[in-house]
Amino acid sequence: MAIKIFIVDAFTDQLFKGNTAAVCLPSQWPDVEIMQNIALENNLSETVFAVKEDDGYRLRWFTPTTEVDLCGHATLAASHVIFSLLEPENENLKFYSKSGDLAVSRQSDLYLLDFPAWPPAPLNEPPLLAAALGAEPLAVYQSRDLLALFRNQDEVTSIQPDLSLLKQIPYLGVIVTAQGQDVDFVSRFFAPRVGVDEDPVTGSAHCSLIPFWSKRLNKDHLTARQLSPRGGELSCVHKRDRVLIGGHAIMYSQGEILL
């Protein structure tokens, strides 16, 4: 079996920025073990597999160590490949996933991901969190991930986590966030429990960040930046139980996996 594979930088319009994802387009579903081995071989934060189904595509996302239920930047990367090469006349895509139906539309070169909103709820601070982050948050919240609120952007930038301690916190990932200096909010995302020490740009984390900051800032349209070394920019809209996450993407390479 030969599987087409594309490497895409998501949430950026520049090569070597944003978050890199591998997009695989098999004609039929490989075994789960094969998909996991491909993701491990790619050694990127996410590898997405997309197979045509009905009037859309079914997506499955894998880190180097495990399958996850939702990934924003890999969905953006898959959309870029499909819009560019498979359905250049289309303006809207439908995806099926473990997180329900997802939609992606394009406006010129901007892609808008229609994802579920995951408003985080207040939580008593886990005992290891401050030690794991090397800093004391103002407050802590939970949804799929743990969200730690800090006083300002500089505190978020300066965090140097102890990844061995973060692995002991029982959430898929840990988001650190603060109000931004020239954007509405900034964030970083750590997920060593699933093989991703620091994710460059995390679309799924914004399923929690957007409703959190929308309520806090009393606005539905927001701008965001993820402060990883590669960095990424996101345009955000809160729509009750959904969020729109906007970003750009650029293709780095394409080829084939030979199995």
The model's pLDDT over 155-203, given as tens digits with 9 standing for 90+, comes to 999 999 999 999 999 999 999 999 999 999 999 999 999 999 999 999 9
The pair of three-digit structure tokens given for residue 86, joined into one six-digit string: 């498979």
Write the single-letter amino acid at 220. D
The model's pLDDT over 133-159, given as tens digits with 9 standing for 90+, comes to 999 999 999 999 999 999 999 999 999
Query: Which helix (DSSP H) or strand (DSSP E) does residue 131 occupy?
Result: helix 129-133
Which residues in 26-173 belong to E strands, given as ranges? 46-53, 56-62, 67-68, 92-97, 100-107, 110-116, 121-122, 139-142, 146-149
The pair of three-digit structure tokens given for residue 3, joined into one six-digit string: 């599987």
Look at residue 108 in the predicted model and tell me its pLDDT.
87
pTM of the entire predicted model: 0.94
Integer CA distances (angstroms), 29 to 33, 51, 161, in order: 11, 7, 37
- Whole-angstrom distance, CA of residue 164 vs CA of residue 245: 31
The model's pLDDT over 6-56, given as tens digits with 9 standing for 90+, comes to 999 999 999 999 999 999 999 999 999 999 999 999 999 999 999 999 999
The pair of three-digit structure tokens given for residue 6, joined into one six-digit string: 């594309």
The catalytic residue positions are 46
- How many beta carbons lie within 10 A of that of residue 7, not counting itself? 18
